[in-house]
Amino acid sequence: MVTAAAGLLVLALLGQPGRTYYWRDAGGQTHVTNTPPPPDAEILEPPPPPAVEPGRPHRVQPVRQSQNPGYRHVVLNPVQKQAWEALDQHLIKARTAGDQRTLEAVTDSLIHDCLWGSGLWAMPLAPLLALALMGLLGWWLALGLNSSLRLPLVGGFLVLGLALGHLLLNVFLYHPQSVRLQQNLELLELHMGGRVPRPERHTLMQQHYQALEQAAEPTQAPWRFPREVRALREAMKQVMVDP
């Protein structure tokens, strides 16, 4: 439970998943859990992730850019900055104890939230809805036509539905996921428990980020993006365990 809470602390502040509760007990201690808080708890609202939703009116603070010139400029508000630093301290303890399981669990939790948090879990329905809508439209238009023309018309609209669904999938799911993964995993690279990836490790991760961004383009096959996500996950775990 301690491991899960440490990972969820950052996740709740970067993008609230539906399974996470952020609350304060009667003694003033803050908790992040995946079970409902007690009745006397004060429910807290975590701020939205600035890396995913830029332009929000937050007071922000820079993230150790000067000490790590190989990383892009990233800003956090004070609460989010505190959350990342708390995770950094937790990972220091895990490294000291040789707890590889915690290192991997935090990585998995962050990647899962980047993929499906903030309502992204519902986006895979968009291609199915587009296909169903175009199929129904084609069937409706074909009602008044000769039977020999109905099948080609309905088939053509189904093809259009597939194309529209693929476009929706890339624009409203793959692209946001790519942005969230790249920006938040770069932050994780800077808060890995007192360690920073070696230059060759950082270069490897940059290559995975670029491959993921390219896979999110509408011109790419729909199965390429999930494949790049799996590769990115494994690479990030290796970097986390052996920076």
Tens of pLDDT, residues 112-132: 988 998 888 888 888 889 889
- What would the pLDDT profile of 32-80 be if each residue is shown by its tens digit? 665 677 877 777 654 444 443 333 333 333 344 445 556 666 677 888 8
The most confident of 3-7, 35-39, 207-211, by mean pLDDT:
207-211
Confidence of residue 214 (pLDDT cuts 50, 70, 90): very high
What pLDDT was estimated at residue 232?
Answer: 94
What pLDDT was estimated at residue 125?
Answer: 87
Q: What is the mean pLDDT of residues 153-173?
A: 89
The mean-pLDDT minimum among 21-30, 72-81, 90-99, 125-134 falls in: 21-30
Structure-token match 């952020």, residue found = 22
